[in-house]
Structure 1
Amino acid sequence: MAARIDLTLDCADASLLAEFWKTALGYVDEPPPPPFATREEWLASFDEDDEADGGAWLCDPEGRGPRLSILRVPEPKTAKNRLHMDIRVLRDADPAVTWRRVKAEAARLVAAGGGVLREEDGHHIVMADPEGNEFCVASAAAV
């Protein structure tokens, strides 16, 4: 059996990042695990006195992509990510069309609060979410 992965982002503002990543990935708020009716009930079930209230949990509404946990932490981001996400757009037979699609997706994500760090012309765009977590926009043979 293949293992399933979830991705976790540390942050200062979970609500801000959750809104950005919902827009970027088309994700939705993940329902709380059964038997809990709300995330608040689920969080209250832990005996730990930590900062679990500063989080957001997202999922792919089609159930294909990994779940995304966004957790508030007290320390700031200090270095480049060692792992990053790639957001893929559909590749076209014409490289110019593909590059326009990559650029359009990057522009959409800038409008959502992301930033462009650099462009590798004709190949991919390195971006950052509103808290500086790096990710790339590139093409894929199939989306």
Structure 2
Amino acid sequence: MTARIDLTLDCANASLLAAFWKTALGYADEPPPPPFATREEWLASFGPPEDGSEDDGAWLCDPDGAGPRLSVLRVPEPKTAKNRLHIDIRVPGHGTPAERWHRIRAEAERLVVAGGTVLAESDGHHIVMADPEDNEFRIAANPAA
């Protein structure tokens, strides 16, 4: 049996970061696990601290079930260094290198509007970006599509 992975992003503002990554990945809010009717009910089952809030986290999933789940959790400490693991967003489609580069640039522009920042471009290959809390990720062409 192959293991599945979930990814977790620590952050200062879970709502802001979850909104960005839902836009970037086409993800949706993950429903609470059974038998809970709401995410709040699920959180209450852990007896969270009184100073905690439902805004301390967000749980996202690929609506098609293909990609890993993504948890976005508020933590008290700030980000202090470069990510050791980053997300690669792969844009689909065959075509010439110029056509693939055009799709990569268009995706970067879309994510700038959503709150991302372009950090660097490797012309014709990939663009390094940061989400609204400076977590680095790359946009590149999907080699299989």
TM-score (norm 2): 0.94
Instruction: Flag the 1:52–1:3 CA change in 2: closer, same or farther, 3 A.
Output: farther
Kindly state the Cα deviation for residue 141 of structure 1 after the two structures are TM-superposed.
Answer: 2.3
What's the CA shift string for 1:14-43, capped at 9, x where partnerless?
A: 000010000000000000000101010000
Instruction: Please give the residue correspondences for 1:17-36 in structure 2 after superposition, counting only pairs within 5 Å.
Output: 17-36=17-36
Amino acid at match of 1:114: G
Note the residue ranges of structure 2 that are not aligned, 5 or more in a row: none
Which residue of the partner structure matches residue 78 of structure 2? 76
Counterparts of 1:91 and 1:47, CA distance in 2: 47
Amino acid at match of 1:6: D
Which residue of the partner structure matches residue 47 of structure 2? 47
Aligned residues: 143
Note the residue ranges of structure 1 that are not aligned, 5 or more in a row: none
Amino acid at match of 1:37: A
Kindly state the Cα deviation for residue 135 of structure 1 after the two structures are TM-superposed.
Answer: 0.2
Which residue of the partner structure matches residue 7 of structure 1? 7
3-state SS, counterpart of residue 117 of structure 1? strand
Counterparts of 1:47 and 1:106, CA distance in 2: 41
Counterparts of 1:127 and 1:95, CA distance in 2: 20
Kindly state the Cα deviation for residue 91 of structure 1 after the two structures are TM-superposed.
Answer: 4.4
Counterparts of 1:90 and 1:63, CA distance in 2: 18
3-state SS, counterpart of residue 118 of structure 1? strand
Kindly state the Cα deviation for residue 140 of structure 1 after the two structures are TM-superposed.
Answer: 1.2
TM-score (norm 1): 0.95
3-state SS, counterpart of residue 31 of structure 1? coil
**Structure 1 residue 99 and structure 2 residue 121: aligned?**
no
Indicate the larger mover: 41-50 or 13-22.
41-50
Counterparts of 1:20 and 1:58, CA distance in 2: 11
Counterparts of 2:144 and 2:74, CA distance in 1: 34
What's the CA shift string for 1:23-67, capped at 9, x where partnerless?
A: 000000000000101010000001353847300000000000000
Following TM superposition, the consecutive aligned residue runs of length 4 or more in structure 1 with deviations greater than 4 angstroms are none
Give RMSD over aligned pairs.
1.3
